[in-house]
Chains A and B, each alone.
Chain A
């Protein structure tokens, strides 16, 4: 849990977390929400009793900035998932196997100032990844981390243990960086804790700071913020994106509380085919009543979600340049 954050004991049951929760929106079942979990824990529920609720969370993180009591709701879920995994190691067996593979295979060092840590989807698309790298100065200035840490991101999400050795291998090449641009929202949050001395930015923020991307964004765009990185630093980023919105005149996937509405594509429950949130329904809700000519996404996972529900073009930030 980050400094200053409180535990479930502090929940007063105000329900503000529900307003931004995609699981609540889809199910209207308070048991599956941060409020439901915190109150149940206050009443003595165990992680095992809450397993369905714990598994349902998409970890978009919107509840955390919404919580007036500053409860560490993301850490609450990852902690509870870790507890479930300790009780039933089989839950995370496949995640563990992947990690062991990667430990041996991945390591690369670089002297470049900027390290780019793509998320899994971006790492799998070398053309797009090349464009992103060029956006930040190309070879010499930016180096793409060979170890994208996607197994670590997955382990964080699933509550699987990350061995110290694996973590160390992942972090060593990143420590030398002055600036680290991170594609995976789950890792943005964690890396800030692991590497406090490094300037860590989400891919979305870093890209929209460049003239190349800003020049190509249009007032008629619907700009889709990646929720995890945004909510991990919402107090600061709400101002950043608000200024961007004003400067460009585009609309964004923000609700009235200025929280980013997620499609939830790419989250663990969706990847496992067990999500209670219908990704298309979320995408439709994000688009409802909004006028736009094109959708620009920060997260590659969102492209499929939007193309399934609109005929308008849907592009990744890097495809703008």
Chain B
């Protein structure tokens, strides 16, 4: 590689060596910051309407990045959402003054979608109260900034639970309905976005509108899985269900393909209530299978258990020992796996959550482990969402990319049941257009820990994963921020332009969550 000599104190036009990222399309990491024209007058208008605008730099800095930790941007001011009326006032003023507004829930995006590159950061967590629970109808009405876990806390007092939500405790209802929301029961219950029965939305021009499959259905279609483009979700009515603890089984594989085939076998036949794959690289592949009732578990044991090709923990440990005995130069990897197993497995078996093979509060157990063992200052989680048929190939190719870039990583695979009547919701979303009854998602997650890795390197990794998607015609869970470049390549100009036209009509000044998709 020909690295030019640079005199100390001189920053060349491109400070990365020209051939450093050969063959990889450079994507803009941080969108251009809004220039702040008219901010002072705008902030004054808000204040005179009784809206608090936080402008102190260190407090604005609280929101400078998202869970990804690679995209950074400072809002000019932060507004904590308090009511739909307040949000409507804000958006009307923002339209008039052409000031960008970025809504943020948990801020768990990883591509900067919930980062404000200037303008207003609207902190939706300020609206996070449960408004009403209908125990007979099994629904809950809640403010949309609420964390799924806080919702679970309230529901559990009534012995109820939400249907499915991301395994991280601190994503918000509103943020999740806009992007998807996948859980280990999504193969059966669908994504979180499909649990919404109706929403209160503040449109980009400041109208407060209720929408559902029957009331303002077009707005409902746009907002669900709409990446916050068509309105701020302020309230949501969601389906809930009676709470049940889990009967949990783990099966271990050394082949990704076999594990995925078994996962899909179970999903196709509705053989379990929960299913998903979590791996340590491609060496230890863990298929999780769980049930809400003894009857479902017994039916699985009779009809399906023997057909699974996975093994128990001891059998896999023996196989691994044999493998590493024959590959002694991979001792480092063996030690990593051993250490990981030693620390991670007890987390999943904590006595206060698990008794007699039954796990209580699975989201707490899994989510805490996710943050503890995978969390860090930088979290890079590119993903591919494919039809059932294409999924094995997508995962195997993505796995090869992970191997190339990182010594340690994890794959997380789950099925997502689709609703035929919600096809219109899925356009330009994480649900791939060719998926029929069920789509499959795989997250590729390097274990970075406390290391800090150059953004260009992380970007190269992500691009290689996303390029697989372009080639295979899959979709992605995470559009936005740096992924803008991929939307047209994946969905084609006609579909993107159709949605862009919708967006322009709904948001004439293009102020709401801009730079996420369009």
Interface residues of A in 96-137 (CB under 8 A from B): none
Interface residues of B in 142-170 (CB under 8 A from A): 145, 147, 149-150, 152-154, 156-158, 168-170
In Å, the complex CA distance between A262 and B379 comes to: 33
Taking the closest CB of chain B, its distance from the CB of A258, in whole angstroms, is 5
A310 within 8 A of partner (CB): no
Please state if A18 and B158 are interface contacts (CB–CB under 8 Å).
no
Contacts A28-B127, A242-B351, A256-B361 hold; do A39 and B157 have CB atoms under 8 A apart?
Answer: no
Taking the closest CB of chain A, its distance from the CB of B342, in whole angstroms, is 17
Please state if A288 and B147 are interface contacts (CB–CB under 8 Å).
no
Contacts A28-B80, A29-B126, A49-B56 hold; do A256 and B69 have CB atoms under 8 A apart?
Answer: no
Contacts A16-B170, A28-B80, A257-B364 hold; do A239 and B147 have CB atoms under 8 A apart?
Answer: no
Residue in chain A with minimal CB distance to B171: A15
Please state if A256 and B153 are interface contacts (CB–CB under 8 Å).
yes
In Å, the complex CA distance between A106 and B372 comes to: 45
Interface residues of A in 237-282 (CB under 8 A from B): 238-239, 242, 255-258
B445 within 8 A of partner (CB): no
Query: Which A residues are in CB contact (< 8 Å) with B56?
Result: 45, 49
Residues 288-321 of A, flagged 1 when their CB comes within 8 A of B and 0 if not, give 1110000000000000000000000000000000
Contacts A19-B147, A242-B351 hold; do A12 and B58 have CB atoms under 8 A apart?
Answer: no
Residue of B106, B352, B364 near A242 (CB, 8 A) is B352
Contacts A16-B169, A68-B371, A242-B352 hold; do A30 and B67 have CB atoms under 8 A apart?
Answer: no
In Å, the complex CA distance between A238 and B128 comes to: 28
B376 within 8 A of partner (CB): yes
Taking the closest CB of chain B, its distance from the CB of A69, in whole angstroms, is 7
A5 within 8 A of partner (CB): no
B206 within 8 A of partner (CB): no
Please state if B62 and A39 are interface contacts (CB–CB under 8 Å).
yes
A165 within 8 A of partner (CB): no
Taking the closest CB of chain A, its distance from the CB of B53, in whole angstroms, is 13
Contact residue range for chain B? Answer: 35 or more
Please state if A28 and B153 are interface contacts (CB–CB under 8 Å).
no
Query: Which A residues are in CB contact (< 8 Å) with B123?
Result: 30
B192 within 8 A of partner (CB): no
Please state if B170 and A19 are interface contacts (CB–CB under 8 Å).
yes
Please state if B61 and A15 are interface contacts (CB–CB under 8 Å).
no
A14 within 8 A of partner (CB): yes
Taking the closest CB of chain B, its distance from the CB of A289, in whole angstroms, is 3
Contacts A19-B149, A30-B125, A256-B149 hold; do A12 and B61 have CB atoms under 8 A apart?
Answer: no
Query: Which B residues are in CB contact (< 8 Å) with A138?
Result: none
A31 within 8 A of partner (CB): yes
In Å, the complex CA distance between A36 and B152 comes to: 23
Please state if B375 and A68 are interface contacts (CB–CB under 8 Å).
yes
B286 within 8 A of partner (CB): no
Interface residues of B in 46-65 (CB under 8 A from A): 54, 56-65
Please state if A13 and B67 are interface contacts (CB–CB under 8 Å).
yes
Contacts A42-B61, A289-B158 hold; do A239 and B67 have CB atoms under 8 A apart?
Answer: no
Please state if B170 and A30 are interface contacts (CB–CB under 8 Å).
no
Query: Which B residues are in CB contact (< 8 Å) with A49?
Result: 56, 58
In Å, the complex CA distance between A12 and B57 comes to: 19
Instruction: Give the number of residues in A that approach B within 8 Å (Cβ atoms).
Output: 34
Query: Which B residues are in CB contact (< 8 Å) with A14?
Result: 67, 168, 170, 371, 375
Residue in chain A with minimal CB distance to B60: A43
Residue of B107, B147, B364 near A13 (CB, 8 A) is B107
Contacts A12-B375, A15-B106, A256-B152 hold; do A238 and B352 have CB atoms under 8 A apart?
Answer: yes
A40 within 8 A of partner (CB): yes
Residue in chain B with minimal CB distance to A17: B170
B283 within 8 A of partner (CB): no
Interface residues of B in 297-353 (CB under 8 A from A): 351-353
A44 within 8 A of partner (CB): yes
B488 within 8 A of partner (CB): no
Please state if A28 and B125 are interface contacts (CB–CB under 8 Å).
yes
In Å, the complex CA distance between A35 and B380 comes to: 21
Interface residues of B in 89-117 (CB under 8 A from A): 106-107
Query: Which B residues are in CB contact (< 8 Å) with A45?
Result: 56, 58-59, 61
Please state if B62 and A31 are interface contacts (CB–CB under 8 Å).
yes
In Å, the complex CA distance between A18 and B123 comes to: 14
In Å, the complex CA distance between A43 and B56 comes to: 11
Taking the closest CB of chain B, its distance from the CB of A4, in whole angstroms, is 14
Please state if B352 and A258 are interface contacts (CB–CB under 8 Å).
yes
Residue of A18, A43, A256, A290 near B61 (CB, 8 A) is A43
Contacts A14-B375, A68-B375, A289-B157 hold; do A256 and B364 have CB atoms under 8 A apart?
Answer: yes
Please state if A239 and B352 are interface contacts (CB–CB under 8 Å).
yes
Contacts A19-B169, A256-B361, A256-B364 hold; do A40 and B152 have CB atoms under 8 A apart?
Answer: no
Query: Which B residues are in CB contact (< 8 Å) with A50?
Result: 58
B390 within 8 A of partner (CB): no
Query: Which B residues are in CB contact (< 8 Å) with A41?
Result: 58
Residue in chain B with minimal CB distance to A49: B58
Query: Which A residues are in CB contact (< 8 Å) with B54?
Result: 31
In Å, the complex CA distance between A261 and B60 comes to: 30
B368 within 8 A of partner (CB): yes
Query: Which B residues are in CB contact (< 8 Å) with A44?
Result: 57-58, 61
Please state if B351 and A31 are interface contacts (CB–CB under 8 Å).
no
B377 within 8 A of partner (CB): yes
Please give me the 7 A-B residue pairs with the lowest Cβ-Cβ distance, nearest first.
A289-B157, A43-B61, A45-B58, A68-B371, A15-B170, A39-B62, A68-B372
**Sampled A-B contacts (14; CB under 8 Å):** A19-B149, A28-B125, A28-B127, A28-B129, A29-B126, A31-B62, A39-B61, A43-B64, A68-B371, A69-B375, A238-B352, A256-B361, A258-B352, A289-B156
Chain B positions within 8 Å of A, measured between CB atoms, are 54, 56-67, 69, 80, 106-107, 123, 125-129, 145, 147, 149-150, 152-154, 156-158, 168-170, 351-353, 361, 364, 368, 371-372, 375-377, 379
Chain A positions within 8 Å of B, measured between CB atoms, are 12-16, 18-19, 28-31, 35-36, 39-45, 49-50, 68-69, 238-239, 242, 255-258, 288-290
- Besides A40-B61, A238-B352, 19 other CB < 8 A contacts? A12-B375, A14-B168, A14-B170, A16-B371, A19-B149, A19-B169, A28-B125, A28-B129, A30-B80, A45-B58, A45-B61, A68-B371, A239-B351, A242-B351, A242-B352, A257-B368, A258-B352, A258-B353, A289-B157
